[in-house]
Chains A and B, each alone.
Chain A
Amino acid sequence: METLLNDFSPGLFAVSTILLLALIALMVKFAWKPILNSLEERESGIEDALAAAENARKEMQNLQSDNERLIKEARAERDEMMKDARNITDNMIATAKEDAKEVTATLIEKAQASINQEKQAALAEIKKTVAELSIGIAETVIKKELSNKKDQLDLVEGILKDVTLN
């Protein structure tokens, strides 16, 4: 202990105090302040950049999900449209079929009506022709009767043979 105290030099203590105070002041002013400030600036810069990257990633994700949603919506719309179209076609076909049926039915009806009419007309004509023929026959018969009864009958028979109704 005595040697230690003997070795302790108050002069060196004073000198080193002054030198160290100067060193600390100079280092703080010219080295540590600018170094620590730049380091902190850089660190906050890195942090900001990381945060920005994270934000960009999130935005990207949002965009992607938006896109997906849009695609899904578009697809659904398309499906809907196709379904509608199919329905419309089906309806159209169905209506067309019905219309056609109706038209045919009316046509058939009309045809039948006209056939009936024709038939009636034909029948009327036949009746007329028959009447005319009968009259004619009756004429001739009447003409022939006048000469021969037998002949008359033969004639009627013959005429009737010739004239077939259908």
Chain B
Amino acid sequence: MRIAYKIVKFLTIVAITLFTAVSFASESDKTHNDQNDGGRVNTKSEVEAYILHHIKDSHDFSLFSYTSDSGERKHVGFPLPVILWSSEGLVTFMSSAFHHNDDGHVIVEKNGLKFAKIHSKIYELDTDAATVSFDATHHATNAHKTLDFSITKSAFGLIVIGLLMLLWFSKLARQYKTKKVPTGFGRVLEPLVLYVRDEIARPNIGEKHYRRFTGYLLTVFFFIWILNLAGLTPLGFNVTGQLAVTGCLAIFTLVIYTVSGTKGYWMHMIWMPGVPMLIRPVLAIIELAGALIIKPFSLLVRLFANISAGHIVVMSLIAIMFTLKESLGVVGATGLSFVLSFFITLIEVLVAFLQAYIFTMLSALFIGMAVDDHAEAH
């Protein structure tokens, strides 16, 4: 545990330094790259823009892009449905309508409304506007954001991984009907299930209550772990690096331990026994803030930051190939990039598991504190 925390700490520090360095750099030279250069990513600022774009959610699923012999830019991937709640109600169309444009130049007209996509966000243009006009800080002046319920890349990844999990584990469940010991892939899954139950749920929640919460913990553990691993594949998912998704998970944990909290837990939180009367309200504020804000916030940010940072680090190291081409030569830059990104990817595989473990473990710990008969919320 101790070593694991140290590694996480180290990686977080590394990631934060790199992240801040990257964001500072992008602040200093904000040259808007031209969309018509074939989409090549060669310069340092383009690399930064590319990485930051990757970290964000996207409305279509693109695997890779290339420029054909005739100089035409080709994108390989598939579009995803866009579902908007606009001023006129529900609007749906496929994301291919934007033609991979991300700076508001392509206007989609639907139901008499005009939409443009700017930095992975879909804007609804004002009724009299024909094109998007930008102010000095590159904000749209005549368009506003819509409520976007699109099946984005993250939502799509979530569905795919969810179906995969359902398939795997329901198959494992069916195996138990005919035999005592699973065979095939179930043999891999069973020890993992046992691990979560015996090492995370049982010791943290306690023998008496752990059964009620094991289902949630198992779902969360496998969901985060598999999505973290999927994020390391060239498919380029970044689902667990989306604040919306980690926030959703953290709020689930918050709701579960708030709803299932015992009387003792609430007593210790609101009116701490064994403490002078004057200090009790102060403690209550601290305890409530800790339980309702800090705990879920730490869950939310930890997962988001670790996974986003991991993606940024891996992509930055891969980008060494282009950024250090001048100073190290093609072979040197490629070799250095390969070695560094190889090792950091190995660490990321570990982090993928570790973050799933930490999220599940802390959720179990918080639930355990809430359902414990002698709540230790001191």
Residues of A within 8 A of B (CB): 3-4, 7-17, 19-20, 22-24, 26-28, 30-36, 38-39, 42, 45
Alpha-carbon distance A93/B89, docked complex (angstroms)? 128
Chain B, Cβ-Cβ closest to A3:
B23
How far, in angstroms, from A15 to B159 measured CA to CA in the complex?
10
A32 touches B214 (CB 8 A): yes
Interface of B is mostly: helix
Give the docked Cα–Cα distance between A15 and B157 (Å): 12
When the two chains form the complex, which single residue of B152, B173, B243 contacts A31, counting CB atoms closer than 8 Å?
B173
19 more contacts with CB within 8 A, not counting A13-B248, A36-B193, are A7-B243, A8-B243, A8-B244, A9-B244, A10-B147, A11-B150, A15-B149, A15-B150, A15-B151, A15-B152, A17-B248, A19-B158, A22-B162, A23-B158, A24-B216, A24-B252, A27-B166, A32-B215, A35-B193
Question: Interface extent on B, as a size class?
Answer: 35 or more
Nearest B residue to A36 via CB reads B214
Asked whether, in the complex, the Cβ of A16 is within 8 Å of the Cβ of B169, the reply is: no
Q: Which residues of A are found within 8 Å of B174, using beta-carbon distances? A: 34
Whether, in the assembled complex, B148 has its beta carbon less than 8 Å from a beta carbon of chain A, the answer is yes
Q: Closest residue to B246 on the A side, CB-wise?
A: A16
Residue of B nearest to A24 (CB): B219
Given contact pairs A16-B154, A27-B165, A28-B219, A9 touches B170 in the complex (Cβ within 8 A): no
With the chains together, A13 CA to B245 CA distance in Å? Answer: 6
Contact with A32, one of B194, B218, B242 (Cβ below 8 angstroms): B218
CB pair A35 B219 closer than 8 Å: no
Q: CA separation between A51 and B165, bound complex, in Å?
A: 36
Return chain B residues, CB-CB under 8 Å to A8.
Answer: 243-244, 247
Which chain B residues in 239-295 approach chain A with CB under 8 Å?
242-245, 247-249, 251-252
With A16-B248, A24-B215 as contacts: A38 and B173 at CB distance below 8 Å: yes
Pair B176/A34 contact, Cβ less than 8 Å: yes
Please determine whether B252 and A20 come into contact, CB atoms closer than 8 angstroms. yes
